[in-house]
């Protein structure tokens, strides 16, 4: 992507940023995250259909932050949404991050709040067809069938927490699973332990998950784990009217309320 | 050592008969485009055409969670049960391990046999028979030959099968356990002479000899190369979990006042909290220090202490890594940088 | 197991200021109601973590009642509003993962609504009796190394 390399080179030469996070060539046709700090390395950056992972996860890492804000980051629509959501959650300021985005055939940077929110709203996350299919599939199942489905999928989970590590919105320095007084989540990956873990993760991401799919990509045993957090966000969207990743200053979905929140299920 | 040949169909019959003898059969199965070692009753579901499974078979000896003791407080007394004594005796056959996996299993046994010795791993190893299948294919992630293992390595296997022409396998029966199994189904096997199996094995280049790397790593602790190398690592722990040799563990207790259990669970040095002290100090504060630890442990500390590499070159960590850390490439970088 | 002879175990998470007091009123009014319920008193519904509801099921409950002050009547002003949001998401997620949401009965019962409390409990027991024992959790429990026993 020539425009991309040009932009990155300029950002680094002008010293506007000390770091550009993007995608580069990996092993055997894979794509890997790259961290460009010298302008001559800007040619390492690529951008094509293989680039699916959400790089915003690196914006939470201490070692990356220690390189110094502002950081430029090659951003898919989901990445921009993560960035907006992270700003809404006060993890960094708007001026700390410069997303490099695609707009039609062009590659540009976003350097102010209005453009950021505009881009996020104008570029909703589009699910690949197999995801749409799977969501339909589960929606058409009865409650018992859904139980069978998730028990089967989660039976392979061995609690490696790769889903958590890959998620840009799982940035807690001490996760609920790391607490043992009390032990909220059963340690072993038996049926109860995995059920509790994924239930907690989905609840903690309700109205925060930007549906990027990084968790599913990271899972070493092939569980479509993103479907759970996506469902939590869908509920927040449809029942609570809450859309994550669109506005830079909204309060958290589950930390606020509306007096008229739906309550048809309450006696 | 005795040698045989066996046809693919007879091999399936052999596996059926193993099940019929009441043994537990663990073999490669496909789930969602990935291959796993799973217990099976149906030999027709066993997968043969693949390079490597996603997760290693180490959980047969070293399960993800091992209850060590359980306690129960009744009205009269406190009862504490040693789960090692209660381990059921189930004769298990692992089919389809690769030679690298078999070598790793022996090394795991060795690690856990260090004083005072681990009764769980010991018991499980006694009940396990390993039937490995040599590698006729490899991919660019494999590097077993760089760490002293080969695609036809016999160490750790009780029986080693090498796929040959005509849908047949060359069989090397290496131990008593292997022999016992074969004797029960003698009619399925054809006696053979020792064969030259090199031509059937995959070609795995060894341009990063691990001994050389070990030497260079001795002075690499403070080298800045670890920083660059580890920036993309997200500390997810997948590499340690899929590795056939990683055996770090955490002890966790679960229970109530009335009953509970003490569990030994897998842990990974890649996790941020792995070395966190209760004071809040973390001697491996950054991911680069944790990445350095992983590489040094496998290629420097273990060779120095127990004269083995902590790696069999199976490539699983690199295949599973969501950000393509690629251990083989890291070793190449170390070779060049140092 | 015949559904008629099955007596569900119900755990009720209630807030101290409204529902607990309401349940007291049910008692002092001598209103008879189903005896399957074990009540756990919380200062406020806002304190009820959904993990506690999960633990109740894991330890053998077949159904759970969660009850508190009516909106705008919370002793701590807004605890019940926060709780309500949480329940909306939790309920939906449970259903998505295959647990029948009818096993959890939510209600607002004030300190003056003794009769309503009896009603809520009776409804919950009837509903859960029809649904049968919580076999999803029974199944999941089977894979644990040991059985949790009640304290």
What phi, psi does C13 have (nearest 5°)?
-100, 115
Instruction: Calculate Rg over the CA atoms of chain C.
Output: 15
Mean local confidence (pLDDT), A14-25:
95
pLDDT given for residue A75 in this prediction: 95
User: Residue C30 — left, alpha, or beta (φ > 0 → left; ψ -120 to 50 → alpha)?
Assistant: left
Spatial distance between the Cα atoms of C105 and C87, rounded to a whole number of angstroms: 11
In a domain, B254, yes or no: yes
Q: Are residues B178 and B134 in the same domain?
A: yes
What distance in Å separates the CA atoms of residue C68 and residue C74, rounded to the nearest whole number?
A: 8
Q: Which residues of B touch C149 (CB under 8 A)?
A: 256, 258-259
pLDDT of A130 reads 85
B136 Cβ contact list (under 8 Å, min separation 6): B151, B162, B163, B200, B201, B202
| Confidence class for position B241, pLDDT limits 50, 70, 90 | very high
Residue among A143, A261, A267 whose CB faces C88 most closely = A261
Q: Is residue C1 part of a domain?
A: no
Structure-token pair, residue C72: 């705008």
Whether residue B68 is contained in a domain is answered as no
Chains that touch C (3 or more CB pairs under 8 A): A, B
- Report yes or no: A131 and A78 within 8 Å, Cβ to Cβ: no
Residue B70 has pLDDT above 50, yes or no: yes
Report d(CA A265, CA A259) in Å as an integer: 16
Is B93 within 8 Å of B156 (Cβ atoms)?
A: no
**Closest residue of chain B to C150, computed from CA coordinates:** B258
How far is it, in rounded angstroms, from Cα C139 to Cα A151?
10
Domain around C36: 7-143
Same domain, B288 and B309: yes
Report, as an integer, the average pLDDT of B4-13. 94
Residue spans of alpha helices (H) in A57-125: 62-65, 77-88, 113-122
pLDDT confidence of residue C144: 67
Residue C145: which of B256, B258, B261 has the nearest Cβ?
Answer: B261
Band of pLDDT at residue A180, cut at 50, 70 and 90? confident
Residue B326 has pLDDT above 70, yes or no: yes
Higher pLDDT among residues A169 and A1, named by residue:
A169
Mean pLDDT over residues B159-173, rounded?
Answer: 94
Minimal Cα–Cα distance from A164 to chain B, Å?
Answer: 8
Q: Is C149 among the domain residues?
A: no
Q: Is residue B98 part of a domain?
A: yes
* CA dihedral sign, ordered B183, B185, B191, B195: negative
User: Using one digit for the tens of pLDDT, what is the confidence trace for C66-113?
Assistant: 999 999 999 999 999 999 999 999 999 999 999 999 999 999 999 999
Q: What is the least distance, in Å, from the CA of C79 to any CA of chain A? A: 10
Span A53-74, pLDDT tens digits: 999 999 999 889 999 999 999 9
Is B139 in the same domain as B9? Answer: yes
Residue A21's closest chain B neighbor by CA?
A: B232
Q: How far off is chain A from C28, nearest CA to CA, in Å?
A: 23
- First-to-final CA distance of chain C: 26
B181 in a domain, yes or no? yes
* Statement: residue C119 has pLDDT above 90: yes
Q: What is the pLDDT of residue A1?
A: 57
- The residue whose two tokens read 């681990």 is B118
- Is residue C64 assigned to a domain? yes
Residue-level length of chain C? 151
Q: In the prediction, which pLDDT does C4 show?
A: 58
Residue C52 has pLDDT above 50, yes or no: yes
Residue the block writes with tokens 């092993």 = A27
C-alpha to C-alpha distance for B93 and B129, rounded to whole angstroms: 5
Is there a single domain that holds both residue B41 and residue B170? Answer: yes
Q: Are A265 and C85 in contact (CB < 8 Å)?
A: no
* Cross-chain residue pair C149–B259, CB shorter than 8 Å: yes
- Cα four-point dihedral sign C109, C111, C113, C117: positive
Domain of C119: which CATH number?
Answer: 3.40.50
Confidence (pLDDT) at C1: 47
Does pLDDT of B206 surpass 70? yes
Share the mean pLDDT of chain A.
92
User: How many Å lie between the alpha carbon of A151 and the closest alpha carbon of chain C?
Assistant: 9
Same domain, B107 and B11: yes
**The two three-digit tokens of residue A256, written as one number:** 């606020």
Return the closest-CA partner of residue B314 out of B48, B53, B94. B53
Chain C touched by B227 (CB under 8 Å)? no
Residues B33 and B129 in one domain: yes
Q: Which residue has the higher pLDDT, B260 or C121?
A: C121
Query: Same domain, yes or no, for B264 and B312?
Result: yes
Angle at A15 between CA A12 and CA A20, to 5 degrees: 40
Q: Which of B178, B200, B222 is the C-terminal boundary of a domain? A: B200
The total number of structural domains that make up chain B: 2
Q: In terms of domains, do B175 and B316 share one?
A: no
Q: pLDDT band at residue C150, thresholds of 50, 70 and 90?
A: very low
CA of A178 to nearest chain B CA: how many angstroms apart?
8
With a CB cutoff of 8 Å and minimum separation 6, the contacts of A146 are A138, C95, C96, C97, C98
Please check whether residue C148 lies inside any domain of the structure: no
Same domain, B193 and B215: no
More confident residue, C101 or A130: C101
Nearest CA in chain B to A175: B273
Read off the pTM. Answer: 0.91
pLDDT bracket for residue C50 (50, 70, 90): very high
Is this complex's ipTM strictly greater than 0.85?
A: yes
Burial class (CB in 10 A: 0-12, 13-18, 19+), C60: middle
**Could you report the per-residue pLDDT of B35-67, keeping only the tens digit for each?**
999 999 999 999 999 999 999 999 999 999 899
Residues of chain C contacting A184 with CB distance shorter than 8 Å: 49, 51
Closest by CA position to A52, among listed A216, A199, A188, A193? A216
Read off the DSSP letter of residue B20: H
At C7 the pLDDT is 92
Q: Judge whether C60 lies within some domain.
A: yes
Burial A56-65 (b: 16+ CB within 10 A, else e): bbbbbbebbb
- Give contacts of C86 with chain A, Cβ < 8 Å: 203, 254
DSSP annotation of A267 reads -
> Distance between CA atoms of B144 and B225, rounded to whole angstroms?
24
Q: What is the mean pLDDT of residues B162-168?
A: 92
Would residue B205 count as lying in a domain? no
When pLDDT is cut at 50, 70 and 90, the band that residue C34 belongs to is: very high
pLDDT at B182: 93
Q: Which residue range forms the structural domain that includes residue B257?
A: 210-337
Distance of alpha carbon B120 from its chain centroid, rounded? 16
B62 assigned to some structural domain:
no
Q: Which residue shows structure tokens 């490669």?
A: B28
User: Least CB-CB distance to C98: which of A144, A184, A239?
Assistant: A144
Q: What is the pLDDT of residues B95-133, one digit of tens each?
A: 999 999 999 999 999 999 988 999 999 999 999 999 999
Other Cβ atoms less than 10 A from the Cβ of B176: the count is 10
Clarify whether residues B134 and B94 are in a common domain.
yes
**Is the per-residue pLDDT at C145 higher than 60?**
no
Interchain pair A239, C50: CB under 8 A = no
Query: What pLDDT score was predicted for residue C151?
Result: 39
How far apart, in whole angstroms, are the C-alpha atoms of residue C129 and residue B58? 45
In whole angstroms, what is the distance from residue B188 CA to residue B184 CA? 10
How many independent structural domains does chain C possess?
1
Given a cut of 80, is residue C146 above it in pLDDT?
no
Provide, as residue numbers in chain C, all residues whose Cβ is less than 8 Å from the Cβ of B260: 146
């Amino acid at each position: 992507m020539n425009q991309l390399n040009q932009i990155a080179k300029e950002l680094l030469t002008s010293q506007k940023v000390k770091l550009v996070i993007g995608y580069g060539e990996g092993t055997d046709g894979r794509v890997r995250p790259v961290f460009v700090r010298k302008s001559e390395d800007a040619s390492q950056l690529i951008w094509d259909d293989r680039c699916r992972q959400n790089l915003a996860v690196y914006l939470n890492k201490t070692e990356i932050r220690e390189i110094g804000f502002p950081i430029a980051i090659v951003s898919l629509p989901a990445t921009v949404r993560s960035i907006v959501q992270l700003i809404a959650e006060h993890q960094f300021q708007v001026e700390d991050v410069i997303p490099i985005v695609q707009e039609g055939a062009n590659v540009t940077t976003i350097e102010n709040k209005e453009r950021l929110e505009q881009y996020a709203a104008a570029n909703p996350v589009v699910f690949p067809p197999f995801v749409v299919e799977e969501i339909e599939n589960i929606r058409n199942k009865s409650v018992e069938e859904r139980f069978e489905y998730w028990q089967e999928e989660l039976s392979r989970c061995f609690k490696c927490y790769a889903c958590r590590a890959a998620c840009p919105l799982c940035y807690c320095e001490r996760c609920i699973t790391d607490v043992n007084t009390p032990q909220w989540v059963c340690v072993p990956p038996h049926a109860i332990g995995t059920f509790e873990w994924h239930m907690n993760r989905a609840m903690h991401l309700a109205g925060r998950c930007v549906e990027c799919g990084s968790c599913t990509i990271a899972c070493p045993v092939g569980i479509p784990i993103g479907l759970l957090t996506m469902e939590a966000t869908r509920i927040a969207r449809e029942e609570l009217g809450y859309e994550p990743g669109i506005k830079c200053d909204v309060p958290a979905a589950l930390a606020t309320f509306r007096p008229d929140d739906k309550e048809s299920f309450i006696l | 050592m005795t040698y045989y040949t066996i046809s693919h169909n007879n091999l399936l019959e052999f596996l059926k008969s193993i099940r019929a003898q009441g043994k537990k059969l663990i073999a490669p199965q496909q789930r969602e485009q990935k291959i796993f070692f799973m217990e099976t009753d149906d030999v027709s579901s066993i997968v043969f055409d693949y390079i490597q499974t996603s997760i290693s078979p180490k959980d047969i000896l070293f399960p993800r969670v091992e209850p060590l003791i359980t306690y129960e407080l009744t009205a009269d007394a406190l009862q504490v049960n040693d789960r090692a004594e209660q381990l059921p005796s189930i004769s298990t056959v692992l089919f389809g391990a690769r030679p690298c996996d078999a070598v790793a299993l022996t090394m795991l046994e060795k690690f856990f046999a260090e004083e005072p010795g681990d009764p769980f791993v010991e018991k499980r190893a006694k009940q396990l028979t390993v039937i490995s299948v040599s590698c006729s294919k490899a991919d660019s992630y494999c590097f077993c030959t760089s760490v002293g293992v080969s695609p036809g390595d016999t160490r750790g296997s009780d029986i080693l099968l090498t796929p040959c022409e005509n849908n047949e396998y060359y069989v090397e029966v290496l131990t008593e356990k292997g022999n016992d199994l074969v004797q029960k189904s003698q009619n399925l096997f054809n006696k053979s002479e020792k064969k030259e199996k090199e031509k059937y094995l995959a070609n795995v280049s060894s341009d990063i000899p691990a001994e050389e790397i070990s030497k260079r790593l001795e002075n690499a602790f403070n080298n800045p190369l670890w920083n660059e190398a580890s920036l993309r690592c997200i500390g997810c722990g997948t590499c340690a979990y899929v590795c056939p040799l990683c055996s770090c563990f955490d002890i966790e207790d679960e229970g109530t006042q009335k009953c509970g259990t003490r569990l030994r669970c897998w842990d990974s040095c890649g996790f941020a909290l792995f070395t966190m002290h209760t004071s809040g100090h973390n001697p491996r504060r950054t991911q680069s220090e944790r990445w350095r630890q992983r590489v040094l442990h496998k290629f420097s500390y273990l060779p120095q202490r127990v004269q083995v590499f902590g790696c069999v070159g199976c490539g699983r960590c690199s295949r599973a890594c969501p950000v393509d850390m690629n251990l083989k490439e890291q070793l190449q970088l170390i070779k060049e940088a140092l | 197991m015949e559904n008629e002879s099955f007596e569900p175990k119900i755990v009720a998470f209630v807030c101290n200021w409204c529902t607990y007091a309401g349940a007291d009123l049910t008692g002092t009014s001598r209103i008879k109601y189903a005896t399957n319920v074990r009540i756990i008193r919380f200062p406020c519904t806002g304190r009820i973590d959904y993990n506690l509801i999960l633990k109740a099921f894991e330890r053998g409950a077949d159904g759970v009642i969660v009850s508190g002050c009516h909106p705008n009547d919370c002793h701590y002003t807004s605890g019940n509003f926060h709780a309500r949001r949480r329940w909306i998401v939790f309920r939906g997620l449970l259903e998505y993962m295959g647990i029948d949401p009818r096993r959890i009965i939510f209600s607002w019962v004030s300190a003056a609504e003794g009769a309503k409390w009896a009603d809520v409990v009776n409804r919950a027991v009837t509903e859960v009796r029809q649904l049968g024992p919580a076999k999803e959790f029974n199944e999941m429990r089977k894979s644990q190394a040991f059985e949790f026993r009640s304290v």
